[in-house]
């Protein structure tokens, strides 16, 4: 081998050894990189249960409690795109948020960072280093540390001190919408804080909403729900043992939430002993306070308790000086003895908000007396005076000294007869308690002496009349027994327990159905017989023993519509009889049920046909014209021809039912309103209806009149003509965003009305009445209510082709988004805005 060859061989050998060494190093680098990557992945998925000045939580990381009960991290609610720091149950799906830090200041991206700043406070920074949220504690902290506890409480503490020294800051002192076991509500005067719940604005927005749940009064604490400044529910005052209401009984036997109240000179708090952690109270964005418990068997939250469980729980349900009794169906409200309705007409139509006034004014110089009411929820403490040392007799004397004093009661119910509480002015929010348990609660209402005497005399007269009438009644019973036996048998066979129908429109009495009859007719509310559901609850089809088909509208316990709408419909529909209004056959209120029984509508509702390309072919133009005229006549009856002037408020295609001959019948009077006398309009904050059917003056300013229904009718006419929903985006155009109404007016103005009509119509020859209906519809949806015709004019215009019609002006809500002020497409202003296909036939 030559010298050159040897050198080359040596070189190759050294190169090979170098390559092997390089490969070993690369393998080591890969292993180190993989290990580091795993650590990074672990670090991004979770963090420890503590946060220190040397650590932080970035978006994608979580702080987990020691027992794996709760997680803290970044989240996005619902369909929102914003990011928030929150706490949720770690092992529950779907994610259930129980606390939000930056609910007023959301992050716009995923670059947020939670850490402990140099001053010891917990701080949330955005990607640009701006401080979004912080704990704002002024305490000196040597070794700050933040922990997420297994109770769901996020705490800031000093690591140099023990837990018994207390927390420098804690999320339990700053609750959002959820109350967990161990969380306190109320005043802490030492710390200068008031703890209360505030609802989210919506499921997609955790910022503070309209409703709060907090303590009211420091001397006589009670829990209240407010919408803004207005009370919607109150628990009743604390009597030292319990709250003065039936609501307290809902908590008995619950270990996870055992309410207690401590009232001292420094603190008034309401708390719950820690127990089952999977339990929570939530102040909902619709104003309901609900308690949920986790069902491990079915893996879902189960509703266990709800404040405002019945009509009488609505604050001031019967107005001033009224008293509510949930057992008195259908008229839950009555005036206190010695008082009469402020407006008898409204009272008779189940509108009790006006309350009651005294029948006989008080006269301090002629010895006023007191009427005792037992087992009642005491009135709201609006104007009151108290003295803890006086007994009830002294309290009575004290009340008589002041002509403005209207009632008194014992202020220390759990401590014997001592303690005096006086009310001045009108008495608000009184109800009979359902459960007469515990300490008897008596209210002494001040009346003129003549009222007490007249009541006593009336009782004597009734007693004498009873003595005389008993023998007579027995004799009459013997006489009619044989005759009534056959009559009762015949009535029972149809399922009716009592009541009758008179063919005179002005005298209609709705029969009461026995619940067993309803259960038999609907096969125990079988799922096969369920034909619809909405804000009120489910609707079932049924058949009575005599073969008559019925539809049963059943109030759900979780219904957002509720008792008040049920009572409204009972009070109105039973008084209204017209061929174009749905007929109520009766009702059922047994076993805490609230049900309305209607005639069955085999052809469902109007929207089932006109918005469906297949079903729409069943309704030719002639049938649609008859439907338009029928709806108009039904509205004319409501506005003018009935004894009461009724504004429906939620007129829409889903509330127009069709019988076997496709005759239209207006239904769902749950939110209808009565307009008194000559009043052409009223202003209300209670906006009810459905977006797309409400005129501008009502949706935005709350001005309600019969012209509101005229507008809704016009929208329905345009929907019937086009086969397109009023909020449809089918008419998108490069140059404008006209909605259905705007498009109809534009095509009419340009002489191209045929282009607006439903494709199912045979338009080879355009009927003149079709164009006439379009013009009438446009007249009804004009922006200004004074420009819209009355329903009597509408019926006349539809029925007389010889008269010339005025030219319509631009419609209300001309642009798709114009003037809606941020209302979303699906947003509704009523509890029954979700389309309830009432009495819908099953296909």
Question: How many Cβ atoms from other residues are within 10 Å of residue 272's Cβ?
Answer: 22
521 and 437 share one domain: no
Output the domain CATH number for residue 767.
1.10.510.10
Q: How many residues does the chain have?
A: 843
Pairing of strands 322-324, 430-432: parallel
371 CB contacts (<8 Å, ≥6 apart)? 336, 337, 338, 444, 445, 447, 451, 452, 455
**Among 247, 251, 248, 244, CA closest to 376:** 244
Tokens of 118: 């140099």
- Domain final position from 447, 467, 492: 447
441 and 553 share one domain: no
pLDDT confidence tier of residue 606, bands split at 50, 70 and 90: very high
φ/ψ of residue 207, rounded to 5: -65, 155
677 and 781 share one domain: yes
**Contact at 8 Å (CB) between 646 and 572?**
yes
Residue 720 placed within a domain: yes
pLDDT confidence tier of residue 194, bands split at 50, 70 and 90: confident
Please report the DSSP string for 415-472 in residue order.
Answer: GTTEEEEEEES----EEE-S---SS--EEEEEE-HHHHHHHHHHHHHHHHHHHHHHHH
Q: What is the mean pLDDT of residues 164-181?
A: 90
Distances (CA, A) of 676 to 562, 632, 671, 679, 735: 25, 22, 16, 6, 46
Residue 810 placed within a domain: no
pLDDT confidence tier of residue 575, bands split at 50, 70 and 90: low
Angle at 501 between CA 498 and CA 507, to 5 degrees: 115
383 and 528 share one domain: no
680 and 757 share one domain: yes
pLDDT tens digit sequence for 670-727: 788 877 655 567 788 778 888 889 998 888 888 889 999 999 999 999 999 999 988 7
**Contact at 8 Å (CB) between 578 and 667?**
no
pLDDT tens digit sequence for 807-834: 898 887 655 444 343 333 333 333 333 2
537 and 430 share one domain: no
pLDDT tens digit sequence for 75-85: 999 999 999 99
Please report, rounded to a whole number, the percentage of residues in the chain having pLDDT higher than 70: 71
Count of the separate structural domains present in the chain: 2
Residue 318 placed within a domain: yes
Which uninterrupted H or E stretch holds 238?
none
pLDDT tens digit sequence for 451-469: 876 654 554 555 555 555 5
Residue 77 placed within a domain: no
619 and 719 share one domain: yes
pLDDT at 415: 57
777 and 646 share one domain: yes
pLDDT at 253: 38
Strands across the sheet containing 222-227: 197-202, 205-216, 222-227, 230-234
Residues 501 and 487: their CA atoms lie apart, in Å, by: 15
pLDDT higher for 207 or 577?
207
pLDDT higher for 681 or 272?
681
**Contact at 8 Å (CB) between 719 and 609?**
no
pLDDT at 312: 86
pLDDT at 319: 94
Pairing of strands 645-647, 673-675: antiparallel
**Among 159, 75, 59, CA closest to 110:** 59
Angle at 672 between CA 669 and CA 673, to 5 degrees: 155
pLDDT tens digit sequence for 470-526: 666 666 656 655 554 544 444 433 443 433 333 333 334 456 788 889 999 999 889
Residue in the block written with tokens 């209401």: 245
DSSP annotation of 828 reads: B
- Domain final position from 447, 462, 481: 447
Select, from the ranges 249-253, 483-487, 798-802, the one with the highest average predicted confidence (pLDDT).
Answer: 798-802
φ/ψ of residue 562, rounded to 5: 90, -175
pLDDT higher for 190 or 548?
548
Domain span at residue 654 reads 513-799
pLDDT at 86: 98
pLDDT at 841: 30
pLDDT higher for 26 or 142?
142
Residues 115 and 687: their CA atoms lie apart, in Å, by: 45
pLDDT at 267: 53
Residues 72 and 154: their CA atoms lie apart, in Å, by: 8
440 and 523 share one domain: no
Residues 245 and 378: their CA atoms lie apart, in Å, by: 9
Residue 281 placed within a domain: no
Residue 16 placed within a domain: no
528 and 435 share one domain: no
585 and 716 share one domain: yes
DSSP annotation of 650 reads: -
pLDDT tens digit sequence for 744-766: 888 888 888 888 888 778 766 55
Instruction: Give the torsion sign (CA, 490, 495, 499, 502).
Output: negative
Among 246, 247, 650, 758, the active-site one is 650
pLDDT at 397: 92
Q: Is 150 a catalytic residue?
A: no
Residue 497 placed within a domain: no
Q: Is a pLDDT exceeding 80 seen at residue 264? A: no
Residues 779 and 812: their CA atoms lie apart, in Å, by: 11
669 and 534 share one domain: yes
Residue 576 placed within a domain: yes
Residues 288 and 270: their CA atoms lie apart, in Å, by: 19
- Domain final position from 406, 421, 447: 447
Q: What is the mean pLDDT of residues 224-250?
A: 79
């Amino acid at each position: 081998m030559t010298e050159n060859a040897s050198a080359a061989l040596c070189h190759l050998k050294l190169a090979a050894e170098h390559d092997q060494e390089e490969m070993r190093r690369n393998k080591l680098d890969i292993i180190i990189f993989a290990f580091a990557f795993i650590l990074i992945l672990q670090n991004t998925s979770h963090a420890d249960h503590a946060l220190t000045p040397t650590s932080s939580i970035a978006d994608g990381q979580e702080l987990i409690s020691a027992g794996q009960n709760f997680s803290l991290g970044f989240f996005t609610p619902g369909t929102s795109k914003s990011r928030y720091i929150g706490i949720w149950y770690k092992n529950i799906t779907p994610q259930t948020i129980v606390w939000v830090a930056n609910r007023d200041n959301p992050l716009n991206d995923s670059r947020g960072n939670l850490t402990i700043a140099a001053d010891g406070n917990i701080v949330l920074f955005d990607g640009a280093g701006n401080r979004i949220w912080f704990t704002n504690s002024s305490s000196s902290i040597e070794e700050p540390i933040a922990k997420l506890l297994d109770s769901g409480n996020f705490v800031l503490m000093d690591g140099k001190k023990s837990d018994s020294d207390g927390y420098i800051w804690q999320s339990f002192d700053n609750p959002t919408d959820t109350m967990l076991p161990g969380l306190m509500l109320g005043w802490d005067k030492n710390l200068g804080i008031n703890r209360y719940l505030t609802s989210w604005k919506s499921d997609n927005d955790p910022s503070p909403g309209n409703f709060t749940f907090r303590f009211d009064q420091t001397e006589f604490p009670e829990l209240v729900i407010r919408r803004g400044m207005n009370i919607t529910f109150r628990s009743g005052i604390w009597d030292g043992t319990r709250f003065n209401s039936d609501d307290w009984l809902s908590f008995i036997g619950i270990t996870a939430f055992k309410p207690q109240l401590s009232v001292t000179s420094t603190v008034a708090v309401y708390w719950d002993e820690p127990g089952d952690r999977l339990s929570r109270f939530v102040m909902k964005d619709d104003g309901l306070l609900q308690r949920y418990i986790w069902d491990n068997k079915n893996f879902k939250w189960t509703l266990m308790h709800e404040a405002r469980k019945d009509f009488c729980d609505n604050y001031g349900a019967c107005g001033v000086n009224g008293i509510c009794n949930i057992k008195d169906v259908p008229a839950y409200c009555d005036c206190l003895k010695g008082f009469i309705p402020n407006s008898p007409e409204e009272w008779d139509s189940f509108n009790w908000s006006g309350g009651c006034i005294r029948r006989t004014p008080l006269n301090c110089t002629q010895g006023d007396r007191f009427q005792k009411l037992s087992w009642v929820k005491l009135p709201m403490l609006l104007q009151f005076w108290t003295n803890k040392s006086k007994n009830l007799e002294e309290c009575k004397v004290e009340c008589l000294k002041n002509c403005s004093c209207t009632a008194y009661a014992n202020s220390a119910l759990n401590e014997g007869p001592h303690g005096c509480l006086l009310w001045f002015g009108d008495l608000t929010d009184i109800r009979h308690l359902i459960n007469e348990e515990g300490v008897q609660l008596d209210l002494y209402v001040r009346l003129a002496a003549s009222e007490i005497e007249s009541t006593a005399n009336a009782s004597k007269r009734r007693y004498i009349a009873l003595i005389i009438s008993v023998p007579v009644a027995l004799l009459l019973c013997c006489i009619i027994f044989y005759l009534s036996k056959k009559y009762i048998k015949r009535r029972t066979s149809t399922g009716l327990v009592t009541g009758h129908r008179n063919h005179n429109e002005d005298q209609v009495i709705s029969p009461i159905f026995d619940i067993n009859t309803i259960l038999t007719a609907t096969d125990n509310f079988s799922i096969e017989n369920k034909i619809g559901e909405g804000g009120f609850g489910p609707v079932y089809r049924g058949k009575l023993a005599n073969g008559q088909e019925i539809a049963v509208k059943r109030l759900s316990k979780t219904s957002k519509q509720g008792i008040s709408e049920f009572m409204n419909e009972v009070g109105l529909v039973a008084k209204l009889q017209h061929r174009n209004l749905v007929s109520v056959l009766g009702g059922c209120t047994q076993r805490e049920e609230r049900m309305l029984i209607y005639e069955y509508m085999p052809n469902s509702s109007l929207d089932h046909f006109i918005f469906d390309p297949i079903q729409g072919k069943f309704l030719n133009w002639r049938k649609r014209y008859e439907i338009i005229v029928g709806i108009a006549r039904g509205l004319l009856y409501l506005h003018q021809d009935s004894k009461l002037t009724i504004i429906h408020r939620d007129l829409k295609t889903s509330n127009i039912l069709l019988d076997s001959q496709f005759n239209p019948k207006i239904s769902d009077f749950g939110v209808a309103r009565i307009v008194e006398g000559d009043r052409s309009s009223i202003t209300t904050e209670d906006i009810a209806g459905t977006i797309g059917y409400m005129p501008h003056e009502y949706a935005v300013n709350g001005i309600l009149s019969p012209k509101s229904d005229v507008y809704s009718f016009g929208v329905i006419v345009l929907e019937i003509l086009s086969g397109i929903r009023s909020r449809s985006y089918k008419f998108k155009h490069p140059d404008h965003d006209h909605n259905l109404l705007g498009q109809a007016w534009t095509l009419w103005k340009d002489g191209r009305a045929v282009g607006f009509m439903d494709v199912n119509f045979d338009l080879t020859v355009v009927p003149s009445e079709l164009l006439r209906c379009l013009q009438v519809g446009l007249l009804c949806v004009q922006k200004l209510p004074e420009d819209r015709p009355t329903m009597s004019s509408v019926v006349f215009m539809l029925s007389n082709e010889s008269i010339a019609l005025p030219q319509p002006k631009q419609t209300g809500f001309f642009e798709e988004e114009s003037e809606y002020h941020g209302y979303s497409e699906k947003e509704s202003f009523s509890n029954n805005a979700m389309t309830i296909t009432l009495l819908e036939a099953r296909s």
